[in-house]
Chain A
Amino acid sequence: MQTIGFWGYPHPKLIEETKKEYPNAEWIDLDIDFEYPDKNILPESYCKIIKNVINNTVALNPIKILAPIGKDKCDSGWFAAQLLKDMGYNVVESIFEEKTYKKEIKISTSNLPLYDKITQITANIVEDNTDISPYTQCEAKFGFWGVPPNDLEILRLFPNETHVYGWTRCVEAGTPADIELEMYIDEDVPTVFYSQAFCSKAQLAKYLADKYNGLYIDIDDYANNSIRAKIEAFLRLR
């Protein structure tokens, strides 16, 4: 089967064009850790998500890669695109910085488990899936700010009444480069500000955690017991 790879949130027009070009292709989110071997192309200490992008590409050899390189992703995405082009992959660069595709935010503020919220929001990038568990809106007890973590299991530590903020909320809103929305926080909601280690968004996460008295955490690949305990303590003591 033909595989289309992508990372971040490629421009919707590009997604539609590619779907028409390859109607039967399987779409793979290259950000996700499928545990393919590290090809040692990137430095050992580097953003695990970008390492996933490179290692997944080498392992899966997609026929085409939709590669966000703008403010909707990060500088590392831009560099990864250049590397993969140089390695001979069919890379189509994407910049999705406008706000014309704005969608209603409803999963981020729902009573779905946090794990389901975030995996559903990212799954909806390529295919809007209405076939998910029924949900209702709920009042936030806690907040989770950030990108979908490499270690998605940490999301299971949070209660269902956890609202999603940051880039993931921007993705649901169809505006992945909306910095105002990315920095939006409900001040009274105790929030965990998550950053992937070696990600430049750590700058925002640390700043916002200090500003709103939240908990800043960064995780490289998988959370150790102490990181889990730290999140658990924050959720119990706040």
Chain B
Amino acid sequence: MIYLDAGTTYSKLITVDEEFDSNYLVKQESNKNYYIIPSSEINKRTINIKKACGHMANADENEIIALANGCKSYIDSDATILDLGSRDAKWIRFKNNKFHDMDWNTSCASSTGATVEMLLKFYNLKREDLEFNDDKFAVTCGIFGLEKIMDDIANGSDAKSAIAKFVHGIAYNAWSFAKKPKKIYLSGGFCENKCFVDSLKNYCSVITLGRFILCEGLINSDKELLHV
């Protein structure tokens, strides 16, 4: 059985009791295999999906529901979980193990992962090159943020630190967007961006959950599987 979280840039896929393309395998746990594959590649293939969510899939599950169902085994009874992906940001809060609050910045991609990826490509940098920078750009709108990066570089700053300030701005926005909690469980591609995680740690404690939480939520919500 295959469970797919088809993001704008990358798709996360978990197979249960079967295998997919080993070129994209990132880890194995008991009968589950975890894959990350460019979404453009997913669209070229015929895959028999058991359940899917995400912008690029014919989704049969809501991403917030998938996030809620996927995170429960990793979190405290009172917790804020933030999923920050390529295109959007969403968070959910539990209080006494019950759903309490949520939000989803629905369509503005300008301050999320896709922008950072484009910036890194444009300036020929790797994610690992970025280091936390105390300064941050106000990036309420990513387009204005891009302008600040260009100004910063024009004023003598190097691209690495300019992008790090931009990433710091995104982290601050994400924390504010999630209503400034003391602790955030972080899900999504930004878990692998140390500069982002360090920037977020400037405001709250951070526990990274990785990129497969929504996929795991699909599995957890699949009652048929749970009954097996």
Which A residues are closer than 8 A to B by beta carbons? 213, 215, 224, 226-227, 229-230, 232-234, 236-238
Contact = CB atoms under 8 A, between A and B. Distances in A.
A213 B106 CA distance: 20
B114 to A, nearest CB: 15
A237 B99 CA distance: 6
Given A213-B100, A226-B88, A237 B64 contact: yes
B101 interface: yes
A229 B63 CA distance: 8
B62 A224 contact: no
Contacts of B106: 224, 226-227, 230
Contacts of A230: 64, 102-104, 106
Contact of B102 (A226, A227, A233): A233
Interface string B83-103: 000001000100000011111
A230 B62 CA distance: 8
A238 B93 CA distance: 12
Q: Which of B65, B103, B104 has the most CB of A within 10 A?
A: B104
B151 to A, nearest CB: 26
Contacts of B139: none
Contacts of A236: 62, 65
Contacts of A237: 64-65, 68, 92, 99, 102
B107 interface: yes
Contacts of A215: 102
B99 A238 contact: yes
A236 B63 CA distance: 12
Category for how many chain B residues contact A: 10 to 19
Q: Which of A224, A227, A232, A237 has the most CB of B within 10 A?
A: A237
A77 B176 CA distance: 34
A79 B95 CA distance: 45
Interface in B43-70: 62-65, 68
A213 B88 CA distance: 23
B102 to A, nearest CB: 6
B102 A229 contact: no
Nearest to B61: A229
B64 A233 contact: yes
A228 to B, nearest CB: 9
Contacts of A229: 62-64, 104
Contacts of A213: 100-101
Given A213-B100, A226-B88, A238-B99, A233 B107 contact: no
Given A215-B102, A230-B103, 9 more contacts: A224-B107, A226-B107, A229-B63, A230-B64, A233-B62, A234-B102, A236-B62, A237-B64, A237-B68
25 contacts: A213-B100, A213-B101, A215-B102, A224-B107, A226-B88, A226-B104, A226-B106, A226-B107, A227-B106, A229-B63, A229-B64, A229-B104, A230-B64, A230-B103, A230-B104, A230-B106, A232-B62, A233-B65, A233-B68, A233-B102, A236-B62, A237-B65, A237-B68, A237-B99, A238-B99
B5 to A, nearest CB: 14
Contacts of A226: 88, 104, 106-107
Nearest to B92: A237
A124 to B, nearest CB: 33
Q: Which of B99, B100, B103, B106 has the most CB of A within 10 A?
A: B106
A233 B101 CA distance: 11
Contacts of B65: 232-233, 236-237
| 9 nearest CB pairs, A to B | A226-B106, A233-B64, A237-B99, A230-B104, A229-B62, A233-B62, A232-B62, A233-B65, A227-B106
